[in-house]
Amino acid sequence: MNATVVQALVRHLLTAVGGGFFAAYGITGSTFEVVVGALSTLAGVAWSLYDKRKVNQGAPDQPAEQGQSDPASQ
C-alpha cells in the first residue's frame, strides 16, 4: 500500500470513530481534535521507533575497525 491509500484509510477511519463518539457520548469537535492530535503524535513516535528498530536490525553489533587489515588475509 502506498502512503496516499494509507492516509485516506486513516482519515475515513477517524471520521467514522469521531461520528460514533459524537453520537454515543456527545463529544464535541474540538475535544475530538485534541484526541486525534494526541493519537497522531503517539502513532508518529511509534512509527519512528519501529522504523529505527527495523533499520538497526540489519546493522552489525560491532562497527568494523577502519584502517586495520585482517592478519589472516596477509
- Residue whose C-alpha is closest to residue 39's, from 50, 47, 49: 47
Q: Is residue 64 included in any domain, yes or no?
A: no
Which residue range is the domain that position 13 belongs to?
3-56
For 12-51, the pLDDT digits (tens) are 888 888 788 788 888 888 888 888 888 888 888 988 888 8
Q: Please, what is the angle between helix 3-25 and helix 29-57, to 10°?
A: 140
Instruction: Give the contacts of 57 (CB within 8 A, at least 6 positions apart).
Output: none
User: For the chain, what is the domain count?
Assistant: 1
Q: Is residue 74 included in any domain, yes or no?
A: no
CA distance 41 to 37: 6
Q: What angle do CA 63, 68, 71 make, to 5 degrees?
A: 110
In this prediction the pTM is 0.50
Q: Is residue 62 included in any domain, yes or no?
A: no
For 41-73, the pLDDT digits (tens) are 888 898 888 888 877 776 555 555 555 555 565
Q: Is residue 15 included in any domain, yes or no?
A: yes
Q: Is residue 61 included in any domain, yes or no?
A: no
Q: Is residue 67 included in any domain, yes or no?
A: no
